[in-house]
Amino acid sequence: MVQNTVLRLVGLPRVQNGKLKVDIAKDARWYQRAQQNVEYMKAAKENIAELVREQIGADPYEMQRTVETFPIEGLDGKVVADVQVECRYDKTPYAKVVDAMQHHLNGLNYQISKGKHRNGVRRNGRNYIPAQDVLDAFELDLEGRLKLTTKQIIMPKAIAEQGNVLVIPYSSDKRINDKTMQTYSNIENALRFEENFVKKFKGKAAHVAESRVSAIPALNHQEVKAGTIDKATTNYMHVVRTLIPVPTEPNDHKKVEPELPKLAGDEYSLGQKRSLMPWYELSQEGLVSVRSLNLRISDLLNQGEKALQVDYASVRPNFR
């Protein structure tokens, strides 16, 4: 017989006067439990969100806006919640997109060298390709990763009071009802405190590690370093946003437009392209060398977000 899942919470019971209290020495043994709770609650929350998306039947390729709101009806036909559905990419698609970019460029190098690519040419030991071909391939890979996600579920009722445990009822009924949505709200509320506990504990642990103070017997070096993952993700994000448009994101966060559309378009002359983007090696016909594309990706990965502030002309020598 399948039973309900009962999770002993770590974050919520440590809230005092509206603030989350974390004690490095005392709470070290609870760190792993909090991580496990976060993993389980995210999975349970996504299971309910998937049922919601199935019920509203939204298609990410037909949505008029990146975020739309749909009413969720219970079994009695009454609205039990409003859900904001967002059309975006996987949680961490950028590393996959950059990896696909590099694989694609490696494949172009091989095909052009063997004379198998109809648009590619080889001159003086360099392989050249129309920028539009590269732009199309990169955009196709990125747009193929579009998916529908639940941005927010707005409940008409206040969240139920929670104590030291979270009960996730088992149900074989795949239809949305009041209890399903209340469970979602309870998970969302508890998850927020568990994630805050993990984040706050990591921050204090990293500070202790940097100070060379041994006060965390249950935390190993690898766990302390885990807080640096976000920076790597940001680097991949920066590569994608610099090279190609991201359809579901506004462009006003960037000071300049993506580079590949400028290379592929007719708005700029060959001389202007070479002056504006000297890190690309361009032929007299306006083709771009595969080598310079690979080097540009490597440079952007190394620069990360700091690339927006540096002098681009100093990054890569001018190939003119």
The most confident of 82-91, 165-174, 257-266, by mean pLDDT? 257-266
Domain-by-domain residue ranges, the chain?
5-90+147-210, 94-144+229-314
pLDDT value at residue 245: 87
Residue 31 has pLDDT above 80, yes or no: yes
Tell me the C-alpha to C-alpha distance, in Å, between residue 74 and each of 79, 83, 180, 275. 6, 13, 9, 61
pLDDT class for 40, splitting at 50, 70, 90?
very high
The 3-class SS string of the chain reads CCCCEEEECCCHHHEECCEECCCHHHHHHHHHHHHHHHHHHHHHHHHHHHHHHHHHCCCCCCCCCCEEEEEEECCCCCEEEEEEEEEEECCCCHHHHHHHHHHHHHHHHHHHHCCCCCCCEEECCEEEECHHHHHHHHHHHHHCCEEEEEEEEECCCCCCCCCCEEEECCCCCCCCCHHHHHHHHHHHHHHHHHHHHHHHHHHHHHHHHHCCCCCCCCCCHHHHHHHHHHHHHHHHHHHHHHHCCCCCCCHHHCCCCCHHHHHHCCCCCHHHHHHHCCCCCECCCCCEEHHHHHHHHHHHHHHHHHHHCCCHHHCCCCCC
Q: pLDDT tens across 142-154, in order?
A: 877 766 566 667 6
Q: What is the pLDDT of residues 229-244, one digit of tens each?
A: 345 556 888 898 899 9
227/191: higher pLDDT: 191
- Considering only 121-130, 156-165, 190-199, 274-283, which range has the smallest mean pLDDT? 156-165
Mean per-residue pLDDT of the chain:
76
pLDDT single digits (tens) 285-314 = 999 999 999 999 999 988 754 433 333 333
Q: Examine the pLDDT at 250 and tell me if it is beyond 70.
A: no
* In the block, residue with structure tokens 């149900």: 171
Give residue 262's pLDDT band: very low, low, confident or very high (50, 70, 90). very high
